Amino acid sequence: MELKDKLISSFMAFEESIDVHNELHDVRTLAIKNFENKGFPTKKEEAWKYTSLSAILKNDYSVFPKHENAVEFKDVKKYFLHEIDTHKVIFVDGKFSSFLSATTHDGLDVCLMSSALNKPKYKMVIDEYFNKIASKDESLTTLNTAFANEGAYINIPKSKVVEKPIEIIYFSTGIESALMVQPRNLVIVGENAHVQIIERHQSLNENPVLTNSVTEIFAQKRAIVDYYKIQNDLQSANLIDNTYISQKQESRVSVHTFSFGGNITRNNLNFYHFGERIDSTLKGITIIGDKQHVDHYTLVNHATPNCESHQNYKTILADSSTGVFNGKIFVEKEAQKTDAFQQNNNILLGDKATINAKPQLEIFADDVKCSHGCTIGQLDENAMFYMQQRGIPKKEAKALLMYAFSNEVIESIKIPELKQRITKIIATKLGVSLGFDL
Amino acid sequence: MLQIKNLHASVEDKDILKGINLTVNAGEVHAIMGPNGAGKSTLASIIAGNENYEVSEGEILLEGEDISELAPEERAHKGVFLSFQYPVEIPGVSVTNFMKTAINESRKANGIEEMPANEMLKLIREKSELLEIDRKFLSRSLNEGFSGGEKKRNEIFQMAMLQPKLAILDETDSGLDIDALRIVANGVNKLKSKDNAVVVITHYQRLLDYIVPDFVHVLMDGKIVKSGGKELAYELEEKGYDWIKAELEV
């Protein structure tokens, strides 16, 4: 059976397994109907022109988690930011792992989507926020909505500055021969509140995994949200990440996406503005090789005056890997004095590596500052010669240059331990050990 | 120290060096002067191993060994240093870390263990004092946002750290004000010994007041057309290069 049919026919069973009388029944039903009409996106659609899902849809995925599989902490410790204390919401094969998690209700909620969706005390919040910014039209998002049941639920009350970063990690054990998971995260950050979140998807063996994840983030007035996505998964793992961000007046939200692994990775990152003097930051480093594929599809919707957005994506492609950057900036007529900046720099290391870069600016206001720059090149030969002249061999010189290339993005990581971790992953990725920690 | 024999080189089929002969002995300072486009920087680049140039003929010997087939880093490990006319910016890599990497890579290539951290610190302190470089400067990203003068001073600091046998200074004086010029020249002079050699490439005689050459060569149209003592530099400063051209035509 094709994956689409399998999903549609599992839907009723899925709903019965949770609670068919749940208030969200109508939302799910609408969503599955939309998916049924649209199906998985194909390359015929403009938004999916450079990314084909057809090969990965052929696996016979088990589509909703059956077992509670245990994972020993020592086996997965390296995927945690274990040097510091963090809040943790951890899932194994789509099921919550209370053993690996450290949730809290003490002054803030860091817990489970399934309880938020089902417990009466969260009903008002769910009514107000759940599926309110996520697309009701885009097929993969609606597919996720239809099956939305588990994920992280984070609610930070007004003026709360969360001291510890929050880690959300989805492990897949590979016990199933092929697994599809559809995590659903909801993050609400109250007025003047501040939070840092790290999200990661990690396979523990080479069985294929397809993750179709949806995250909704609501930043209230003057809230500050720093969100980091670490994508350094095995080459059997595929990830479609759909993130929707709603920002109110004077809020500041940044999303950093570090794509170093996986087979096919697609990041749909959408920012929507509802208020003035909003600041949105979208940054990414992509370093891949072999036949890996990473597609960044970003949208910043400037709907209100006096807001800023900053995009900076750096890509290094080796071997036959392919990268896509499609950055759309939409400036509505009312959004005067918008300051939108977009930069995308790409380095191709291999003759067979490909980048498709497409900046898209649609501007309907007349008093705005919008700029974009896109470069595609090889490593700077002068810089290589300079470093070799000082005695640094070619391989190390290359690594230093690539590090220098990514540095602008690395510099803006606000959690020092994470910054260290990312630079270490980059050094490993580049296959060098230098006389100092990058 | 350095022997260049009948060196011919081209870039994209354009001949730039057309038979250079030059011998530099240990303990000597040589100046190479000449008009724009004569091939001075090309010569410096080729000695250091820049792979963008095609060497079609001739030899480059360092202490009797032909180095013309070696990679730039291998030449560096043997003691060749080139102070760049346009040093490259490397964001995110501090001057100190860059030097640690460079020194330890050279040591590794020469079979010496890594320099202990305290020794490295001592060396950095000593050499930064010599070039009157603020310690804060050393934790900045290499050359990023440095002024022209800071970049040049940083080049000589690196030279001091690496202690090369053969140092080639390519237009190190450009972009330097008189105080910086004095500091840089003083640094070079302090590093000079009977065991190493310096080749100074410059347009102007100005630097040669501070780094006094034993020999001055005039490079024109890819060849060394005239050699002499330090007084040749004054003559060039005064009269320009046309008289040499005239002399050659006769």
Tens of pLDDT, residue by residue over B197-237, are 999 999 888 889 899 999 999 999 999 999 999 999 888 88
- What total number of domains does chain B contain? 1
3-class secondary structure, A254: strand
Contact residues on chain A for B103, CB-CB shorter than 8 A = 391
pLDDT digits (tens, 9 = 90+) for A202-237: 999 999 999 999 999 999 999 999 999 999 999 999
In terms of domains, do A37 and A138 share one? yes
Using an 8 Å Cβ cutoff, are A42 and A51 in contact? no
In terms of domains, do A286 and A214 share one? no
CA of residue A229 relative to chain centroid, distance: 5
Interface contact flag, A385 B51, Cβ < 8 Å? yes
In terms of domains, do A392 and A373 share one? no
Q: Which residues of A380-390 are buried (b: 16+ CB within 10 A; e: fewer)?
A: eeebbbbbbbb
Rounded to 5 degrees, what are φ and ψ at B54? Answer: -100, 115
Pairing of strands B29-33, B215-220: parallel
Give the single-character DSSP code of A217.
Answer: E
Using an 8 Å Cβ cutoff, are A339 and A308 in contact? yes
Contact residues on chain B for A312, CB-CB shorter than 8 A = none
Whole-number CA gyration radius for chain B: 18
Using an 8 Å Cβ cutoff, are A412 and A283 in contact? yes
Q: What is the mean pLDDT of chain B?
A: 92
The CA distance from A175 to A41, in Å, is 28
In terms of domains, do A364 and A394 share one? no
Q: A387 at the B interface (CB within 8 A)?
A: yes
Pairing of strands B141-142, B90-94: antiparallel
Q: What is the pLDDT of residue A434?
A: 54
User: Once rounded to an integer, what is the mean pLDDT over residues B25-41?
Assistant: 92
Q: How confident is the model at residue B103 (pLDDT cuts 50, 70, 90)?
A: very high
Q: Which residues of A127-164 are buried (b: 16+ CB within 10 A; e: fewer)?
A: eebbbebbbeebbbbbbbbbbbbbbbbbbbeeebebeb
Q: How confident is the model at residue A20 (pLDDT cuts 50, 70, 90)?
A: low
Contact residues on chain A for B85, CB-CB shorter than 8 A = none
Using an 8 Å Cβ cutoff, are B61 and B2 in contact? yes
- The two most distant CA atoms of chain B are separated, in Å, by 62
Q: What is the pLDDT of residue B35?
A: 87
Q: What percent of chain B has pLDDT over 90?
A: 72
Mutate to test the interface with A, among B85, B105, B140 (most CBs of A within 10 A): B105
Q: Of B48, B90, B100, which has the smallest distance from its Cβ to A435's Cβ? A: B100
Q: What is the pLDDT of residue A438?
A: 46
Contact residues on chain B for A408, CB-CB shorter than 8 A = 91
Q: A411 at the B interface (CB within 8 A)?
A: yes
Interface contact flag, A389 B76, Cβ < 8 Å? yes
- What total number of domains does chain A contain? 3
In terms of domains, do A30 and A41 share one? yes
The highest-confidence range among A40-49, A393-402, B175-184, by mean pLDDT, is A40-49
Q: What is the pLDDT of residue B36?
A: 86
Q: Which runs of consecutive H residues, i.e. helices, occur in A21-120?
A: 25-38, 73-76, 113-118
Burial group, residue A114, by CB count within 10 angstroms (0-12, 13-18, 19+)? middle
User: Once rounded to an integer, what is the mean pLDDT over residues A386-402?
Assistant: 92
In terms of domains, do A144 and A10 share one? yes
In terms of domains, do A282 and A399 share one? no
Contacts of B249 by beta carbon, 8 Å cutoff, 6+ apart: none
Q: What is the pLDDT of residue A102?
A: 96
pLDDT digits (tens, 9 = 90+) for A102-154: 999 999 999 999 999 989 999 999 999 999 999 999 999 999 999 999 999 99
| Structural domain that includes position A407 | 380-438
| Structural domain that includes position B228 | 2-249
Q: In angstroms, what CA-CA distances link A346 with A285, A287, A376, A385? A: 10, 10, 5, 21
Rounded to 5 degrees, what are φ and ψ at B185? Answer: -65, -40
- The two most distant CA atoms of chain A are separated, in Å, by 72
Flag whether pLDDT at B163 surpasses 90: yes
Query: Residues B179, B180, B181, B187: is their CA dihedral positive or negative?
Result: positive
The CA distance from B182 to B30, in Å, is 19
Provide the residue type at B119 as one letter: E
CATH code of the domain covering residue B156: 3.40.50.300
Interface contact flag, A392 B73, Cβ < 8 Å? yes
Q: Read off the tokens for A280.
A: 């949105």
The ipTM is: 0.95
Strand partners, B219: B224
Q: How confident is the model at residue A433 (pLDDT cuts 50, 70, 90)?
A: low
Provide the residue type at A43 as one letter: K
Query: Residues A386, A391, A397, A401: is their CA dihedral positive or negative?
Result: negative
Using an 8 Å Cβ cutoff, are A140 and A134 in contact? no
**Taking CB atoms and an 8 Å cut-off, how many pairs form between chains A and B?**
86
pLDDT digits (tens, 9 = 90+) for B132-151: 898 888 989 999 999 888 99
Interface contact flag, B93 A385, Cβ < 8 Å? no
Q: How many CB atoms lie within 10 A of CB B15?
A: 15
Flag whether pLDDT at A279 surpasses 50: yes
Which chain A residue has the Cα nearest residue B89? A383
In terms of domains, do A384 and A374 share one? no
Judge whether A237 lies within some domain. no
pLDDT digits (tens, 9 = 90+) for A51-104: 999 999 999 999 877 777 889 999 999 999 988 999 999 999 999 999 999 999
User: Once rounded to an integer, what is the mean pLDDT over residues A262-270?
Assistant: 97
Judge whether A248 lies within some domain. no
In terms of domains, do A190 and A121 share one? yes
Pairing of strands B166-170, A354-363: unpaired
In terms of domains, do A396 and A306 share one? no
Burial group, residue A184, by CB count within 10 angstroms (0-12, 13-18, 19+)? buried
Q: Of A380, A388, A400, which has the smallest distance from its Cβ to B93's Cβ? A: A400
3-class secondary structure, A94: coil
